[in-house]
Amino acid sequence: MTTRGALPVESADSPRPPVVVTGATGAVGRHVARLLAESAPARHTLVVRDPDKAAALGLPGPVVRADYRDRGRLRELFEGADAVFVVTADPRRPEDDENIVTAARAAGVRHAVKLSWLGVTDPGADDLVARWNRRSEELLRASGLSWTVLRIRTPMSNALAWAPSIRTDGVVRAFGGAARTACVDPRDVAEVAVRALTEPEHASRAYALTGPQAVSPREQVDVLAGLLGRTLKFEELTADEARARWSRRYGDRIADALLEGARRRAGGAAEQVDTTLGELLGRPPTGFARWAADHAGFFG
């Protein structure tokens, strides 16, 4: 074992623990890592492409470096694992899921838990992100691995993207300020992910995971203003302005998909609350007010 920063970084020839978490620096993956560390120390491996980011997040190791483009490396890391948490993030690269699933199968992994999007169940959603998530789910179901799919609504942590402009100008600029979404706390999703990774009864299940109520960006900003004790302003972007921002950040194809998703949300496509998350957790899912209170320090 070698070390990098504050984290132990395992070399490829170290014995592999039974659960491997890909996307461990992501919104849900970081909480899966934390919960696994709390429940079963040293029985998990965290796959990241940037160990410095993992160290900055304080991820509870062991951390290994890999890119989804490297199927051989993934297979090496999956060897001896019982279950893998699968998170991919680039709709232009369907081969990332293919590499992870093929490597898991070749390494003899038993079960895979895949993070996906609840929009896949909406027959009217036919943008790049919807098609990519549908195809990735299909690939997993056809892989021969035992599987669980977690179809989530927007993670509440997306609001963290507003933190810089809130801190500097007291302003949030976004498109679709009135569009309500049954956004979900990524910590709740992670709790279900850990159950699905470690308990057999979740095999062959696709769970619809939403938060307990639909809230709009304007309402979220009001909640944050109340917590911070400051006046915050919401400035509505036009569709063209929003698309231009997304295009600069993610490229044209993803910008088009994000705009289509935002328009569908404005038409109410993401409002519906599903009871599955509460049933799985055995308690009410976390609401936005609680999430915001727990993360107020990022905004103030």
**Running DSSP on this structure, what letter comes out for residue 215?**
B
53 vs 218, beta carbon nearer ligand NAP = 53
Number of residues near ligand NAP (by CB under 6 A): 24
SS3 159: helix
Q: How far apart are CA 37 and CA 33, in angstroms?
A: 6
* Distance from C-alpha of 41 to C-alpha of 150, rounded to nearest angstrom: 24
Minimum CB distance to ligand NAP, residue 231 (Å) = 27
Burial class of residue 142 (count of CB atoms within 10 Å of its CB; 0-12, 13-18, 19+) = exposed
**Of these, 14, 158, 165, 213, which contacts ligand NAP (CB under 6 A)?**
158
Check binding of 89 to ligand NAP (CB under 6 A): yes
| Exposed/middle/buried for residue 195 (C-beta within 10 Å: 0-12, 13-18, 19+) | middle
Q: Does 115 bind ligand NAP (CB under 6 A)?
A: yes
92-111: contacts with ligand NAP (CB under 6 A)? 96
Contact call for residue 217 and ligand NAP (CB under 6 A): no
Sheet (strand 205-209) strand order: 2-4, 7-9, 63-65, 44-48, 19-21, 83-86, 111-117, 146-152, 205-209
Q: Does 84 bind ligand NAP (CB under 6 A)?
A: no
Site string for ligand NAP, 36-75 (x = CB under 6 A): -------------xx--x-------------xxx------
Tell me which residues touch ligand NAP (CB under 6 A). 23, 25-27, 29, 49-50, 53, 67-69, 87, 89-90, 96, 115-117, 129, 133, 152, 154-155, 158
